[in-house]
Amino acid sequence: MSPRDTSYQAVVSRKNEIMKAAMGMDYESFVQSPIAFDYERMMRETGYSHEDIVRIQRETKVGDTPLFELRNITEAVRKTAGKGKGARIFVKDEAANASGSFKARRASISAYEAAKKGYKGIIAATSGNYGAAVASQAAQRGLKCIIVQEVFDSRGVCQPEIIEKSRACEAYGAEVLRLSVGPELFYVLLRTLEETGFFNASLYTPFGIRGVETLGTELVAQVRERCGKDPDAVVITHAGGGNLTGTARGLGIAGCANTRIVACSVDLGGLHMASDRDFNRKSFTTGHTGFGVPFATWPDRVDVPRNAARSLRYMDEYQLVTQGEVFYITELLTKLEGLERGPAGNTSLTAAVTLARQMGRDEIVVVQETEYTGAGKHHNSQLSFARENGVEVRRGDPADNVPGKAIVIPEVLDQVRGKVQDMGKLRLSYLRNAAKAHPVGLWTEGDYSFLAADLKMDVAWVKKAIKELDN
């Protein structure tokens, strides 16, 4: 047998074949058109009940994490809020999971599935907490693990947070393939999957998203037990969409129909995530608009044929916050609540402060995750690195923040304001991307129904919106 062509074009052209072998799931069976597919059937065909997932996660130290009321932060917010305002703020402490973040939930089912199907190892492409989560779960299931990680710019310089996450992956026994920023990440992932025959523990498979559903159901059960009601709002740090999708689906399983699903990202507008120059001029490797907006407006830009993380399908609101605001709230959480947690997980806490200030005192807002911190993940390391890369760091009004140029840290709590992202524009951007993927003149009623569900709107809205775009 002649050796396979390993050129970039040849490997990428085999992606569906490689992915099918690396997961044992035939995505083609769900496809209905270039844009539509049977999303719920794809999720069901993981083959796991919710009870199965809870049991599997308990075997590897995942789930059943505590819910804390942030009484001191709530009181501080009430001092800056109007009369009768200042909702109670709770946080789900996902740092209590094995590997220190909610992503252990995503990795747990993929590792279990890989072991059940007889794969010798698992692979994931990530620069974030997910790599550590996959490595931790692989160790507990007796699997080999390879993490493909985007680490360096062209100078060979790496962010301290990424170095810390790389260290964590290796601590759990993973082999880490470190790459420079650029398009080779997907190519190296495909080649490694093909050469090893390992399982693809992608962030965007149905297995990963189903694993996060337990976060939503636990959260609801804990709030109901403590407060006798459902949460009024749940705030979720948004990047690729899996965190929001899985948590929202879990809220649905728990029958929590009236809770507002609020996404939150750090505003890094103007910085390009694939730019060698911009790569080290941002102080957040995840939870920012460089991922949050593109993945919301076209989810199927990932390493699997169809993405199970579809944030606009579940999102009610989208809040943006600045880097300086998140660093301020990270300090506040430590100083007022005695919880030292990583800045990325505190993105949603920053939005929760703004929301709580606008909500009634009898209402409840839940921050649905924290992440561990330490070494390079600590915000002081990130700020020092920003200064080294020519970014100004100062105290003042965070409205003066300029991504890649200035990080402005608030001087007082009422300067933590955030801002609202326009959901209408996001939905229209999604439709433009859908039209590029499949000409509007060829759309069927099934396509319109799928798009309506994916945008959390009705078919009439989609038809009206696409006509206006054409004009």
CB atoms within 10 A of CB 120: 13
Determine the number of helices (DSSP H) and then strands (DSSP E) in the chain: 18, 13
Cα angle: 88, vertex 224, 343; to 5 degrees: 45
**C-alpha closest to that of 337 among 96, 82, 91, 78:** 91
Tokens of 458: 């009705």
pLDDT on residue 2: 47
Q: Is the pLDDT of residue 51 over 80?
A: yes
Contact 223, 366 (CB under 8 A): yes
Average of pLDDT values for 412-427?
95
pLDDT on residue 253: 98
pLDDT on residue 438: 96
Compute the half-sphere exposure of residue 394: CA atoms within 13 Å on the CB side of its CA: 11
**C-alpha closest to that of 294 among 222, 240, 230:** 240
Q: Is the pLDDT of residue 193 over 80?
A: yes
**C-alpha closest to that of 110 among 25, 189, 41:** 25
Give residue 84's pLDDT band: very low, low, confident or very high (50, 70, 90): very high
Mean pLDDT of the chain: 93
Please provide the DSSP assignment of 63-76 as one string. Answer: S---EEE-HHHHHH
| pLDDT tens digit sequence for 131-182 | 999 999 999 999 999 999 988 888 888 888 888 889 999 999 999 999 887 7
- CA atoms of 310 and 296, how far apart (whole Å): 7
CB-based burial label for 441 (10 Å; 0-12, 13-18, 19+): exposed
Average of pLDDT values for 357-378?
92
Q: Is the pLDDT of residue 440 over 70?
A: yes
Residue 140: in which H helix or E strand, if any?
Answer: helix 129-141
What share of the chain has pLDDT > 90, as a percent? 77
Residue 117 has what DSSP assignment? Answer: T
Give residue 25's pLDDT band: very low, low, confident or very high (50, 70, 90): confident
Contact 161, 130 (CB under 8 A): no
Q: Is the pLDDT of residue 414 over 90?
A: yes
Average of pLDDT values for 17-37?
92
pLDDT on residue 128: 76
| pLDDT tens digit sequence for 397-410 | 999 999 999 999 99
| pLDDT tens digit sequence for 92-119 | 999 999 999 999 999 999 999 999 999 9
What share of the chain has pLDDT > 70, as a percent? 99
CB-based burial label for 49 (10 Å; 0-12, 13-18, 19+): exposed
CB atoms within 10 A of CB 86: 22
- CA atoms of 114 and 119, how far apart (whole Å): 5
Three-state secondary-structure class, residue 369: coil
| pLDDT tens digit sequence for 273-325 | 767 777 877 878 778 888 899 999 999 988 888 999 999 999 999 999 999 99
Average of pLDDT values for 248-255?
98
Residue with tokens 């470190």: 178
Give residue 1's pLDDT band: very low, low, confident or very high (50, 70, 90): very low
Q: Is the pLDDT of residue 271 over 80?
A: no
pLDDT on residue 471: 65
pLDDT on residue 197: 96
- Report CA dihedral (39, 42, 46, 50) to the nearest 10 degrees: 30
